């Protein structure tokens, strides 16, 4: 499998892509960018207890998610895949309810959406994706699993074991690493030996692809190729999308304590939304008026989602004890009685 272009170019090209695809990519990325801005504001207002921004990673997420078949494939996300959820067709009011801590992991239907629940375990979605993929083949179906994880998670044992298992058994999985340069406060050069995550793929008997994570078209092409390969029964692929986390790790983080602001400024000049917009105009896939309409529609959709999640009713507190175990235990029943007594005081 060929290596796709890595980060570092001043511009991108979409000449090789269908115009309707580039416009779809832009619509999803623009909506995610505006929703991200609204979500940060909700956290500052106390509506969300915490939030993790996706700003700067929209191309990596939207480019990969749109390469899947939402009726056959299944996504296993971390806690930062809001843009991927939006592009995959998840109900975003119900998805964003996760950040309000409403219900167990959100209000959307994970099975129907074919998009896993928010997973805050570092590397946690990866073994889940491999398990689902193996089960898919045992059922005789042709779905493909896509597992998102970060550069920090690539150092976790769960990720290594999952890739080795998938390589040995030829599981239909796309391992998608968003290398945003920082494992929270630890830079790549202090936790990735050899400087490349995709290079590790050879040891697991699968192709490794390094792609410019700020080039939505390149990400889409690399992911579509990996999905097609898995669907043909040719096994897993590891994709490393080189991008950058321009915002703090979360709303409780202060990146000024561990990274140089000049580095962030350099990456801001390669903003993926701006790059795609300029490429669409250069290719003649849309004009300024059409993109202005897309911008307005994206902002309206982001505000609709914002208002919907802010107004979502809080669940009954008794639901804290629902689905903890298949069958309740004496200890859980005791805790529920204690909670009820405190509520009734």
The CATH number covering residue 193 comes to 3.40.50.970
**How many separate domains does the chain show?**
2
Same structural domain, 54 and 178: yes
* Structural domain contains residue 58: yes
Instruction: Show pLDDT as tens, one digit a residue, over the chain (345 residues).
Output: 334 444 445 789 999 999 999 999 999 999 999 999 999 999 999 999 999 999 999 999 999 999 999 999 999 999 999 999 999 999 999 999 988 887 766 789 999 999 999 999 999 999 999 999 999 999 999 999 999 999 999 999 999 999 999 999 999 999 999 999 999 899 888 988 888 999 999 999 999 999 999 999 999 999 999 999 999 999 999 999 999 999 999 999 999 999 999 999 999 999 999 999 999 999 999 999 999 999 999 999 999 999 999 998 888 888 888 888 989 999 999 999 999 999 887
Same structural domain, 39 and 106: yes
* Structural domain contains residue 342: yes
Same structural domain, 218 and 300: yes
* Structural domain contains residue 233: yes
Tell me what percent of the chain is helix, strand and coil, each rounded to the nearest 5: 50, 10, 40
* Structural domain contains residue 11: no
* Structural domain contains residue 285: yes
User: Which residues neighbour 113 within 8 Å (Cβ) at sequence distance 6 or greater?
Assistant: 88, 89, 90, 91
Same structural domain, 172 and 296: yes
Same structural domain, 102 and 232: yes
* Structural domain contains residue 5: no
Same structural domain, 268 and 201: yes
Same structural domain, 66 and 202: yes
**Cα 245 from chain centroid (whole Å):** 13
Rounded to two decimals, the pTM is 0.92
- Domain that residue 41 falls in: 19-314
Same structural domain, 290 and 341: no
Query: d(Cα 66, Cα 219) in Å, to the nearest integer?
Result: 10
Same structural domain, 202 and 330: no
* Structural domain contains residue 2: no
């Amino acid at each position: 499998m060929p290596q796709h272009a890595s980060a570092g170019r001043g511009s991108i090209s979409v000449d090789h892509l269908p115009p309707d695809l580039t416009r779809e990519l832009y619509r999803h990325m623009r909506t995610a960018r505006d929703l991200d801005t609204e979500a940060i504001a909700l956290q500052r207002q106390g509506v969300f207890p915490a939030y993790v921004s996706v700003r700067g990673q929209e191309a990596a997420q939207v480019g990969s998610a749109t390469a899947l078949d939402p009726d056959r494939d299944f996504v296993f996300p971390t806690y930062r895949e809001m843009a991927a959820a939006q592009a995959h067709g998840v109900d975003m009011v119900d998805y964003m309810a996760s950040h309000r801590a409403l219900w167990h992991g959100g209000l959307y239907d994970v099975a129907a959406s074919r998009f896993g629940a928010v997973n805050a375990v570092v590397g946690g979605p990866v073994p889940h994706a491999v398990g689902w993929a193996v089960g898919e083949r045992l059922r005789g179906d042709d779905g493909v699993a896509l597992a998102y994880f970060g550069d920090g998670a690539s150092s976790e044992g769960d990720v290594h074991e999952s890739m080795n298992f998938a390589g040995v058994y030829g599981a239909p999985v796309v391992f998608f690493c968003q290398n945003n340069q920082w494992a929270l406060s630890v830079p790549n050069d202090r936790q990735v030996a050899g400087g490349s995550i995709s290079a590790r793929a050879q040891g697991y008997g699968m192709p490794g692809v390094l792609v410019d994570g700020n080039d939505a078209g390149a990400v889409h092409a690399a992911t579509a190729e990996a999905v097609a390969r898995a669907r043909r029964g040719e096994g897993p692929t590891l994709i490393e999308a080189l991008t950058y986390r321009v915002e703090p790790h979360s709303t409780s983080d202060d990146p000024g304590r561990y990274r140089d602001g000049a580095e962030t400024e350099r990456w801001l000049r390669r903003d993926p939304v701006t790059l795609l917009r300029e490429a669409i105009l250069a290719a003649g896939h849309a004009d300024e008026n059409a993109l202005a309409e897309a911008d307005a529609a994206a902002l309206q959709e982001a505000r609709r989602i914002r208002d919907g999640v802010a107004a979502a009713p809080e669940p009954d507190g008794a639901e804290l004890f629902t689905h903890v175990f298949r069958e309740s235990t004496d200890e859980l029943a005791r805790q529920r009685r204690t909670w009820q007594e405190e509520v009734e005081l």
